[in-house]
Structure formats: structure tokens, C-alpha cells
Chain A
Amino acid sequence: MSAPAFAETEAPQDALPAAIDLHEEFETSGVKDILAELDRELIGLAPVKRRIRETAALLLVERARRRMGLAHETPTLHMSFTGNPGTGKTTVALRMADLLHRLGYIRKGHLVSVTRDDLVGQYIGHTAPKTKEILKKAMGGVLFIDEAYYLYRPENERDYGQEAIEILLQVMENQRDDLVVILAGYAQRMDRFFESNPGFRSRIAHHIDFPDYTDGELLRIAEKMLDQQNYLFDDAATQAMTEYIARRRGQPHFANARSIRNALDRARLRQANRLFERAKGPLDAKALSTISAEDITASRVFAIKSREGERK
């Protein structure tokens, strides 16, 4: 067994740097890479990317100020991500964790993603240990609470969610060095949640709103998802997918990119069935990886629309 490392004793502080080149910092800290990656890999989300860029600039300047001895306190980094389902909140949270880690605001850079179930217990005395367990797991990284408004249930005054909220607030305030909390959910319900829990609002510095994707962006997302799995659309299928996206948007429970992912999963299922039932003789790689129009138009989405058309 190797001897445990001794904690470094505080060395006398080096002389404070006289000047800091922000652009060099930007490149060497790896922030540039993350932002470039964000631009490259996430389609659309222009306002989100702009906000992240601004936040990154702020943190970079803050770090420079800290090095020069102008700032001492850790800035409040807790954030809220609002937007409809499937707009990339979790994905961006992952990148955010990476960003904060590279800038040195969090020590580990992992993301712990939880919902109400993970925080709130089922009986008296169950909530506090449960919440603390999650908080401990998230320390040194980012705690991502999806659909945070479910924590607060005003209609039931004995709900244990309040207890979880109190513990969260306490840790968010006292251990800002150890943990960054990101709350996420639908915009309107988050607003109501913040109204009834002013403690949260005042402890959250960055609000980022995620817009819905446009149809064109969703199509590009679909193509990208397929590409990652080594599938591709033929021309007719691209047409069908465009049509599908427009129709799917008009139907309930539309969840942006998530709906697209599910649609693609089903299209792959249909493609597999089609190949299995109709293929005569051996199939080449192209046949195995091409999604054609009929795999998409067989969807329920088209059926519902046409039935409504018949009724009219």
C-alpha cells in the first residue's frame, strides 16, 4: 500500500499575476472546445447557446478576477432550465457540468440526474436521509432536478416535498463550493414553482429558456440520430419524415426531439419487419441501413390524420 498523500500545506501565495489574457484563458481552459462542440453537436437552440456563451464569459472573467485577488466569493452558479420536453435540457446540463469542471468551479464534473421520486420519501423521516444521500452523491458535480415543480405540492400540506426543498435550499446556500443545482421543467409550471418558493428564485442566478425546435431542425436532428446508428433515409423517406414532423407537432404529447427519437425507433422496427417478411435472397449493407418512406408512413400519426379527414 502506498502511503496516503499528505495534504499540501498552504504554500505562501505566489505573487498575483499583473495581467491575464482572457483569450488565452479561453483557449487553454478548454472552454473554447466545449462551446465549439456545443455548436457542432446541438442543432438549433441558438438562444441557449448564446446564454451559455455569456455565462462562460462571465465565469472566465470571474476566474481571472479571482486570480488577481479582486473577487473572493464563489459566484452563485445554480441555474434553471425551462422549456418543453425534448428540447435538450439534460444534454445541455451535461455540457454545463463539463464546462464548470473545466473552469474549475466544480471539482469532479459529473452530473446526477434526479426527479421527485429520488428526493422525496414515502413516510415521515424518510425524506431527509434520501435527499441527503442524493446531495452527497452529487457533491463535486452538478445535481440536475428534472421537473422540479413536482417537489412542491401545495394541495397536500403534509407532502414531504417541502422537507426536500428545505434541505436543498440549505445546501444550495451553504455549500456553493461543493455543488451546483440545475432545476429543469416546463416554463409556466417552473414560474409558478418559483412564485411559491421565493427561496429558490433568489438562489438561482441563471435562467435559461429552451425554445421548441423548428420543423427543419427536427429533420436535421432525425438525420443526425440515424447517422449515429448507421442508418439513412432514402429521398422519399426524407419527404415522409418532413410530413411526419409537421403532423406529429399538431398532436398531443409532442416532445420535440424525444418524439423524433421514438418515431425513429419505431421506423427501425418496421424496417426490420419489412426486410424480414419480404426479402428474398441476401441483403446488402445498403438495404439493411436504409429507412424508406413506407416505414414512416405506416405510423399512427398518418392514420389519425386521414381518419379525421374521412370524418370531415
Chain B
Amino acid sequence: MRITQGAFSFLPDLTDDQIRAQVQYCIDNKWAVSLEFTDDPHPRNVYWDMWGHPMFDNPDAAALMMELNACRKLYGDRYIRVVAFDSSHGWESVKLSFIVNRPAEEPGYRLERQEAAGRMIRYATKPYAADKPAGARYG
């Protein structure tokens, strides 16, 4: 099941040229771009790992592309996203975030039902991938 998080996720995967153009757009707007990766695709997982520092003072998107390729070399079997932060109102806030790399196979989610008091039912979604220990989930 193809996960859809962040911008553009209902589109086909962006090509490198398209990613570069988006990143350049962010940089031209004075947003700081950075890369994050994870192997826990749960939509409520906001704690993705950072790949290096946010890139504050690189005027060209080639810098991010270089880091992205380095990140793919190491974590090509995980999700990688580009995050752009805007600091114009005094604090850094996410302006744009989109997935730029995903595992070859995305097993999807299991729906878990739990019976609570009074036969009430609680639902939880769990990624099948999370059954395996972190670091060994994909590929």
C-alpha cells in the first residue's frame, strides 16, 4: 500500500529534476531545507531522523540533491522526505514537506480492534513493517 503523506503524495513519485525544482523554489523563498528519513511509516510518527543539519545558507538546490543521493545510498530502502522551514515570523515552522524516496515494497497497515469496557471497540492502525525491529524493516 503506497503511503500518502505530505505534499504531492497523490502524484506519481517526483523525478529528480522535479525534486530539484521544488527545492529551488523553497530556497528562493528563503526557507531552510533539510532531509529526514524513517522506517516507521505510521502517519502519526512525527519523529523522523534528521539527515545532517538543515541547510540554511546554500543558494542552490544542487547541495540538497547531493545530500539526498548520499542519503539514498545509505537509507535507500526507507522513506526520505524533504522538509522546508520558514523562519520569517520568528520561529521555524514547516512550510512544505514531501516524500522523495520510498521503499520498493510497502506492506501497508493492519487494523487492530480492541474490546474495551462495555464492549466498546478501539481501533488502531499498525504498519506491518513495524513488526520487524527498527533498521531491518525493509529490504
Contact = CB atoms under 8 A, between A and B. Distances in A.
A110 interface: yes
B61 to A, nearest CB: 8
A137 B57 contact: yes
Contacts of B43: none
B122 to A, nearest CB: 36
Interface stretch (A1-9, A82-90, A191-199, A239-247): A1-9
Given A1-B95, A4-B22, A7-B22, A139 B60 contact: yes
A177 B58 CA distance: 16
B63 interface: yes
Contact of A4 (B15, B25, B60, B66): B25
Contacts of B14: 7
A136 B63 CA distance: 5
A136 B18 CA distance: 19
Contacts of B26: 4
Contacts of A91: none
Nearest to A4: B25
B66 A175 contact: yes
Interface string B20-55: 111001100000000000000000000000000001
B86 to A, nearest CB: 8
Tell me what chain A mostly uses at the interface: helix, strand, loop, or mixed: loop
Given A1-B95, A107-B60, A108-B59, A136 B22 contact: no
Given A4-B7, A4-B96, A136 B66 contact: yes
B131 interface: no
Contacts of B115: none
B17 interface: yes
Given A4-B25, A107-B60, A108-B60, A139 B7 contact: no
B104 interface: no
B16 to A, nearest CB: 10
Contacts of A135: 63, 66
Contact of B60 (A1, A7, A132, A140): A140
A141 interface: yes
Contacts of A31: none
Nearest to A178: B62
A221 interface: no
Contacts of B61: 140
A196 B67 CA distance: 30
Contacts of B19: 7
Interface of B: 7, 14-15, 17-22, 25-26, 55, 57-63, 66-67, 95-96
Given A7-B14, A140-B61, A178-B60, 18 more contacts: A4-B7, A4-B22, A7-B15, A7-B20, A108-B59, A135-B66, A136-B58, A136-B62, A136-B63, A136-B66, A136-B67, A137-B57, A139-B66, A140-B59, A175-B62, A175-B66, A178-B62, A179-B62
Those 8 A-B pairs whose CB atoms lie nearest each other, nearest first: A140-B60, A136-B63, A7-B21, A7-B18, A178-B62, A139-B62, A139-B60, A139-B63
21 contacts: A4-B7, A4-B96, A5-B25, A6-B18, A7-B19, A7-B20, A7-B21, A107-B60, A107-B62, A110-B59, A132-B66, A135-B66, A136-B58, A136-B63, A137-B57, A137-B58, A137-B59, A139-B59, A139-B66, A140-B61, A178-B62
Interface of A: 1, 4-8, 107-108, 110, 132, 135-137, 139-141, 171, 175, 177-179
